[in-house]
Structure 1
């Protein structure tokens, strides 16, 4: 979420560009592709919210698309992606956040199908309303699935990514509740760059080319 239509468009375009670079660099490691593609999803999310701003909120297709990504898709995507890239030693414990993500995504999908999500412009923020039942339990499952999977990954780069997401989410929620300004897009941009660096660190080293006429090459 950003503080204006223009900010959402700019942030979305930048995050999407980072996502393209991330996916390109991860092409040789298919297991890393779901995580590498996360900035693409986040960038698309920001661009969709620009359309929500443009239409002054409401209950239209942009609002529904925003909610589908934010609610059922992310808590399923993130733990599944972390599980794909995690070392074998971490996979058993990562089944816990994955199970939480499946349950949370299933619940939120049902709620989205049964109720109408609405968006409203509140100063420099967009507020979304769905009327979630057992909201605290759903939020706990959401956080376990997303941030919890990153912190339990056993990978230093992903743990750092998880810490940044946690801090960014906490700050954004505080400012959003005050209806002051939405700042998640800025944190999403920083987190996407951190994820890009993680992808770069995972690339296998290139083999040094042998000079022409090296005796070890044989005849």
Structure 2
């Protein structure tokens, strides 16, 4: 769900710059940094740039094979990839020395990571076995993939991604969980009215929070 191909391209390029800076800060930090979380802004930028191609395909400005490949790439990132990488990255961050997370929260993060892997299996199967379609509704794109039991999988998806961030003992990661959870609700409401999506702003906000988080010592993340 985005405003246009141009908006996706512009914001995707800006988020890519934030993603590169996040990786550089994480690499130069004196403290261990989970690569999966530090690379998340870069992945979000790729996701937005891919959807710029989806927009062009929906408008008939791309050859059908390229448009189909863009829709599939969008679905792979959005569906089976994120519910695995996000909780795994938060769990990895919680295992860093000096991180303010107790054993109960760490066990909870392990459980959410396992749940994310379980949720990703039917999502990946749906993407592999069903063609991904994208239809333009006003200023938004509506995707159809043929996911079985969508309500159940959506609940598990949000639990693993947003829930793992909220469960983190890291103040900035918990803030990121609040931002993404609120943004998901707003995106759903705005898409319902076929107006404009908050996803571009959500991706940018999440990337800036992760940039602020990267490279900081655990004692400063409380």
Normalised to the residue count of structure 1, the TM-score between the two structures is 0.88
Q: What SS does the corresponding residue of 1:55 show, helix, strand or coil?
A: helix
Q: 1:147–1:165: 8 Å Cα contact kept in structure 2?
A: yes
1:149-179 CA deviation, whole Å, 9 max, x = no partner? 0001111110001000011111011001111
Match of 2:136 in 1: 121
Q: What SS does the corresponding residue of 1:126 show, helix, strand or coil?
A: strand
Task: Indicate which of 18, 31, 52 corresponds to 2:33.
Answer: 31
Unmatched 5+ stretches in structure 2: none
Distance change >3 Å, CA 41–CA 195, structure 1 → 2: same
Distance in 2 between residues matched to 1:70 and 1:12, nearest whole Å: 15
Shift of 1:33: 2.1
2:194 pairs with 1:186: no
Shift of 1:201: 2.9
Match of 1:19 in 2: 19
1:125-171 CA deviation, whole Å, 9 max, x = no partner? 01100122111110011011100000011111100010000111110
| Structure 1 residue runs of 4 or more that deviate by more than 4 Å after TM superposition | none
2:81 pairs with 1:73: yes
Worse-superposed segment, 25-34 or 149-158: 25-34
Q: What SS does the corresponding residue of 1:31 show, helix, strand or coil?
A: coil
1:164-196 CA deviation, whole Å, 9 max, x = no partner? 001111101100111111221111101111111
Distance change >3 Å, CA 202–CA 9, structure 1 → 2: farther
Match of 2:192 in 1: 177
RMSD between aligned residues: 1.8
Match of 2:90 in 1: 82
Q: What SS does the corresponding residue of 2:131 show, helix, strand or coil?
A: coil
Task: Indicate which of 171, 175, 189 corresponds to 1:156.
Answer: 171
Question: Radius of gyration: which is bigger?
Answer: 1
Worse-superposed segment, 142-151 or 106-115: 106-115
Q: 1:25–1:203: 8 Å Cα contact kept in structure 2?
A: no
Distance in 1 between residues matched to 2:71 and 2:154, nearest whole Å: 20
Unmatched 5+ stretches in structure 1: 206-219
Shift of 1:96: 1.9
Q: 1:151–1:163: 8 Å Cα contact kept in structure 2?
A: yes
Shift of 1:200: 4.1
